[in-house]
Amino acid sequence: MVELLGPGGNLEMIEAVFKAGADSVYAGVLGWSRRSKKYEMRDEELKKAVKIAHDYGGMLRAAINAMPKPGEERMYIERLDALYSMNIDAVILNDIGLMKATEERYPDLKIVASIGASILNREEAMLYREAGADMFVADCKMNLDEMVEIKKYTGLGVEVLIHANTDFTYLGRCWMSSYKSLKYETVDGKAYYIGSPNRGGVCFRPCLLGWKLTGERVYASDFKLPNDMFLMLDEIPEMIDRGVDCLKIQGREYSVQLIHDLVRLYRNFIDDYIERGEVDMEAYRSELDAIAEKRDSERLRRTLELMRAARAEKSEV
């Protein structure tokens, strides 16, 4: 059975996602998970999140996938020990060295190589497999044949983003935001760079500003760099048939109701296909289009908020 993974930006969202039918939820560890602090969780909240997940018979993954600053390895081990003692079911990691340390310390703990690891071919995937990864998140530019080949060659599970955004580079490898605005803070001693999600902070989405290409003349103006949201539907049946292990819905920053409705739609779609071997694509597409309109409205509002924050160099965004 394919796993349906939903986002947990707060405890209310985690409860709603499980009620909607998710098999598992991921939540961010404060200062470590490539999002604004207000969508991450302290230990007290993570303990409650684990209880919610297990009460529903589900699993909780801890996203701890920001790149560490040199010298923070010991701090990571302390966080890992705390997470393991809470009965976290899996950790999502970027750094291959931290994966190796995790596998050596807790060989029974599932490790997911984050999309920020940018695994693009089977030899690279094998490197992460040898470091301890059990599953990898496929890059949005990777096709299904490539995913299946990596799974067959390495034995890694395959996780696919069915609600996320594209990127003109690779997700998790863009540094543009930090050139637009960057502010250094610490969170419980952990380095936290506001404007650099790769190092624990928030992305200000400068790619969505109006851009101009100039030289001897203006070659192009008022264009945006590719950063489009997508919601998969037609591709899902084949993914299930060919052995994709996990379908992931991003969205810690969205409203609880929106994420609940999205998870519910995908739960029903997956169950219908598995039980009957076919689905009413037009009916589901119509419902998904209605959700997408709400999603686009919320995303635009959030993007404008982030752009204003970048100009003001605010930290709480």
Amino acid at 295: R
Domain annotation for the chain: domains and CATH numbers: 3-171+227-281 (3.20.20.70)
Relative to beta strand 59-63, strand 211-214 is unpaired
User: Crossing angle of helices 281-312/256-276, nearest 10°?
Assistant: 150
Q: Give phi and psi for 282, each to the nearest 5.
A: -65, -40
What is the three-class DSSP state of 224? coil
Helical H segments across the chain, by residue range: 11-19, 43-55, 73-85, 96-105, 122-131, 144-154, 176-180, 236-241, 256-276, 281-312
Per-residue pLDDT in tens (0 to 9) along the chain, 317 residues? 899 999 999 999 999 999 999 999 999 999 999 888 889 999 999 999 999 999 999 999 999 988 888 889 999 999 999 999 999 999 999 999 999 999 999 999 999 999 989 899 999 999 999 999 999 999 988 999 999 999 999 999 999 999 988 777 777 778 888 887 888 888 888 888 888 888 877 888 888 888 899 989 999 988 888 788 899 999 999 999 999 999 999 999 999 999 999 999 999 999 999 999 999 999 999 999 999 999 999 999 998 888 888 877 665 66
Q: How far is CA 195 from the centre of its chain?
A: 17
Question: At 136, is the secondary structure helix, strand, or coil?
Answer: strand
| pLDDT at residue 148, as a whole number | 97
Residues 32, 44 contacting (CB under 8 angstroms): no
pLDDT of residue 313: 61
Answer whether 102's CB lies under 8 Å from 109's CB: yes
Confidence (pTM): 0.94
